[in-house]
Amino acid sequence: MARVRYGARTEAEIQAARTASSKLPDIWSTGVVAVWESDPDAVAAVLPPPLKPAERPLVRANISKVDLPGYPLGAGSVAVAAVHDGQEGWYPLVMPMTHERALIGGREVFGEPKKLGEVVVERDGLVVRASLARHNIAFVEVRGAVDGPLPLPEPTTKTDFYFKFLPAVDGEGFDADPVLVHCVRNEKVRKLEKITGDVVLRESMYDPVADLPVRRVVEITIGEKTTDQRGRVAERVSARALLPYIHQRYDDPAQILDGPPEGSV
């Protein structure tokens, strides 16, 4: 009988897949990073407990492209500075990706708020433009000109905070207590340049980052970097406390109750 591809994989096949994923070479991306000071109350309002605001009300937009052979990828995020149990880090609100494959592991394993979207990083000489778009709205755009090289930072470790959860089958809360994930990234940079420019936030009902206004641009850079990541569950969190923020993950919170019409299965 020909192999049934939906059938069970062998232990050898499973182990081979794990081995292959653990031996990936460094993957370098070219990206624009913009950091700005925003309204402290607005930043505090988007943080589910037990996350707390950092000392400065910072917002960060990462907009990157990765020239994978045969599989070019655009990846981005908009995150706010946060603190958990003394650990400083970033809480991403939205992470547009240009391919479904880039969504799956992040959403299902770490709880990352990834969504399909459009990611643009363009450079023409010294002129740079980068943007994140969904539903034909470029809700974040960074524009400017390269203003010279910057010293390369030492390899560093950065932390992102995610909430991993499954909406309940009956539509009431969650199937189990959500968990707060610390995702730790080891980052190396091989090229870094300063950009003089601005950050434009456009109104979008789906990605309302315009509610985090640009009060002062802290820095804009363009560079080449590579990262690896690992995650851990920091703690289980209150379902009741997280539920008011569940809409952050979806364009329409009601979609978690969507199902096939009766009789269609």
pLDDT confidence band for 14 (50 / 70 / 90) = confident
263, part of any domain = no
Q: What is the pLDDT of residue 72?
A: 84
Decide if 113 is inside a domain.
Answer: yes
Here the CATH number for the domain that contains residue 103 is 2.40.400.10
Residue 59 lies in a domain: yes
Which tens digits make up the pLDDT trace of 112-156?
Answer: 999 999 999 999 999 999 999 999 999 999 999 999 999 999 999
Q: Is 255 among the domain residues?
A: no
Please give, one letter per residue, the 3-state secondary structure of the chain. CCCCCCCCCCHHHHHHHHHHHHCCCCCCEEEEEEEEECCHHHHHHCCCCCCEECCCCEEEEEEEEECCCCCCEEEEEEEEEEEECCEEEEEEEEEEECCHHHHHHHHHHHCCCEEECEEEEEEECCEEEEEEEECCEEEEEEEEEEEEECCCCCCEEEEEEEEECCECCCCCCECCCCEEEEEEEEEEEEEEEEEEEEEEECCCCCCCHHHCCCCEEEEEEEEEEEEEEEEEEEEECCHHHHHHHHHHHCCCHHHHHCCCCCCCC
Virtual torsion, Cα 236, 160, 154, 27, nearest 10 deg: 110
Across the range 233-253, mean pLDDT stands at 92
Mean residue pLDDT across the chain: 91
Tell me the pLDDT band of 25, cut-offs 50, 70 and 90: low
Residue 231 has pLDDT above 80, yes or no: yes
Is there a domain that residue 194 lies in? yes
Question: Looking at the domain assignment, is residue 35 inside a domain?
Answer: yes
This prediction's pTM: 0.91
User: Which residue range(s) make up the domain with 139?
Assistant: 25-152+186-226
d(CA 165, CA 113) in angstroms, rounded, equals 11
Judge whether 53 lies within some domain. Answer: yes
Whether the pLDDT of residue 60 is over 70: the answer is yes
171-218 per-position pLDDT tens digit: 888 888 999 999 999 999 999 999 999 999 999 999 999 999 999 999
Nearest to 124 by CA among 147, 145, 138, 149: 145
The answer to whether position 6 is within a domain reads no
Count: domains in the chain = 1
